[in-house]
Amino acid sequence: MKYIDLTYTITENMPVYPGTEKPVLERLEIDGYRETLFHMFSHTGTHMDAPYHVFRDGRKLDDYSIGEFTGRAVVIDVPCGVKVIEPDMLKAAEGFEFIILRTGWGAKWGTDEYFDGFPVLSLSAAEYAAGLGLKGIGLDSISVDEVGNNTLPVHRVLLGSGMLIIENLAGLEQLPSEVNFTALPLKYADADGCSVRAFASF
């Protein structure tokens, strides 16, 4: 079995969603032992969105069972130049538990280009995915919606179905077309989202 880490390392100078504060990692040494005090938003780096992120009565990450964070995933390649992902591009997802969209956008991580022009799902594609009974959808860009679209229509469709969204996945170029996928968030109360350790095995 081969394991591939799909997670960006959290650092103080890492890319974050425009308008969000970067994480602060305060290194402490007390009485000969070391600890780190984290100050960061719950949607930092490779992270997971829960329905509670956009719905006041939505399900929270701490309401999910551990088994809902892992499952069989199809890796779907989004052709270069495609800006809007339509339902026909998601047909291969039928029968799987997760979709991983490999857009190639991760190559822009760490540049200003990362935040603009990445492929997003059309509303009809989001509705199609929401009807497949999936546990979640992951991708190698910062959002399933365009940056600046604060109504988050694609988020609302996907999260409204109970699906999880995993954003800022790294290293997708290393994956075959089908993998076992896992993304594990911290278990904290009333979790709207959380940075995750995501990985694939095959």
Average per-residue pLDDT for the chain: 97
Mean pLDDT in residue range 134-155? 96
Q: Decide if 200 contacts 98 (C-beta within 8 A).
A: no
Mean pLDDT in residue range 103-127? 96
Q: Indicate which residues carry an active-site annotation.
A: 53
Mean pLDDT in residue range 14-29? 95
Q: What is the per-residue pLDDT across 74-105, written as a single tens digit (0 to 9) for each?
A: 999 999 999 999 999 999 999 999 999 999 99
Helix (H), strand (E), coil (C) string for the chain: CCEEECCCCCCCCCCCCCCCCCCEEEEEEECCEEEEEEECCCCCCCEEECHHHCCCCCCCHHHCCHHHHEEEEEEEECCCCCCEECHHHHHHHCCCCEEEEECCHHHHCCCHHHHCCCCEECHHHHHHHHCCCCCEEEECCCCCCCCCCCCCHHHHHHHHCCCEEEECCCCHHHCCCEEEEEEEECCCCCCCEEEEEEEEEC
- Indicate the residue type of 49: D
Dihedral of alpha carbons 48, 46, 124, 73, sign? negative
The Cβ of residue 169 has, within 10 Å, a number of other Cβ atoms equal to 26
| Per-residue confidence (pLDDT) for residue 67, from 0 to 100 | 98
Mean pLDDT in residue range 35-64? 97
Mean pLDDT in residue range 104-122? 96
- Please tell me the pTM assigned to this model: 0.96
Mean pLDDT in residue range 145-166? 96
